[in-house]
């Protein structure tokens, strides 16, 4: 057997082969490093803003997020929800944080609408250079909309192939 647990005088002991112990040390040190990266990334603008090292016009903050006004707003009241921990993008974010984020977004959206009297709002979240992300620390845009504003979020509608869609739905469903 490679490892064993035993109890002596009320203390639980764990014994294992040296090779297993070495593997466990490497595994735990990797986990620890990953946690450090997750906590805060040096030279990341939004890590510094979210954690209060760089000033921002903060609307709200809690343990997990800081909500600020965008420095170059698309419209009046353009706000950003920024997690205090570093996530590059949505692909990097865990579902629990994503849940908390959207729960907060509903409250912030309602508060902005009430105070700004906007007619609508776009919730935008860019992931990757190709998608227009310029700050590589996850953030959610809340962009209030007004008649006659200059906000431009759009695409050219394409044509759907129903067979392809069904196949794709099946494949993606499997991947979820
Ligand atoms: P994105 O293109 O989705 O990565 O959006 C980045 C957003 O961050 C842009 O809307 C910028 O105007 C905004 N931004 C960049 N620097 C700051 C800053 N120091 N304070 C507030 N917003 C910022
Ligand atoms: Zn960051």
Cα distance between residue 31 and residue 28, in whole Å? 5
DSSP 126: -
Is 141:78 a contact under the CB 8 Å cutoff? yes
Q: Phi and psi for 67 in degrees, rounded to 5?
A: -110, 125
**Distance from CA of residue 19 to its chain's centroid?**
37
| 139 is known as an active-site residue | yes
Q: Please, what is the end-to-end C-alpha distance for the chain in angstroms?
A: 37
Ligand 1 lining (C-beta closer than 6 Å): 49, 56, 68, 70-72, 126, 132-135
**Which one of the ligands is nearest to 128 CA?**
1
Cα distance between residue 65 and residue 18, in whole Å? 43
Q: Which numbered atom of ligand 1 lies nearest the CA of 54?
A: 19
Tell me the per-residue pLDDT of 70-121, one tens digit each, with 9 for 90 and over.
Answer: 999 999 999 999 999 999 999 999 999 999 999 999 999 999 999 999 999 9
| C-alpha angle 169-173-174 in degrees, rounded to nearest 5 | 120
Among 115, 5, 4, 7, which residue's Cα sits nearest to residue 59? 115
145: tokens are 């909309």
Cα distance between residue 162 and residue 10, in whole Å? 65
**Which one of the ligands is nearest to 49 CA?**
1
Report CA(148)–ligand 1 centroid distance (Å). 23
pLDDT of amino acid 109: 98
Report CA(127)–ligand 2 centroid distance (Å). 14
Residues with CB under 5 A from ligand 2 (ion): 41, 44, 46-47, 86, 137
Top mutation candidate among 43, 56, 68, 71 for ligand 1, by most atoms within 8 Å of CB: 71
Cα distance between residue 16 and residue 4, in whole Å? 6
Among 31, 147, 139, which residue's Cα sits nearest to residue 90? 139
DSSP 119: S
Q: What is the pTM of this model?
A: 0.81
Low-confidence ranges of the chain (pLDDT < 50): 1, 21-22, 24-37
**Which one of the ligands is nearest to 37 CA?**
2
Catalytic residue, chosen from 78, 86, 139, 141, is 139
């Amino acid at each position: 057997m490679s490892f064993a647990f035993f109890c002596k005088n009320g203390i639980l002991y764990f014994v294992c082969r040296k090779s297993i112990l070495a593997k466990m040390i490497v595994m735990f040190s990797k986990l620890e490093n990953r946690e450090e990266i997750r906590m805060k990334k040096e030279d990341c603008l939004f890590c510094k803003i979210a954690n209060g090292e760089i000033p921002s016009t903060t609307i709200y903050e809690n343990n997990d997020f800081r909500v600020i006004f965008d420095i170059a707003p698309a419209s009046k009241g353009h706000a950003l929800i920024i997690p205090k921990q570093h996530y590059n993008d949505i692909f990097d974010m865990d579902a629990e944080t994503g849940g908390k984020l959207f729960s907060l977004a509903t409250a912030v959206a309602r508060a902005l609408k009430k105070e700004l009297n906007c007619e609508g709002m776009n919730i935008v979240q860019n992931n990757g250079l190709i998608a227009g992300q310029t700050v590589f620390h996850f953030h959610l845009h809340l962009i209030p909309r007004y008649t006659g504003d200059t906000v431009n979020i759009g695409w050219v509608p394409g044509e759907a192939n129903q067979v392809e869609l069904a196949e794709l739905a099946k494949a993606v469903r499997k991947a979820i």
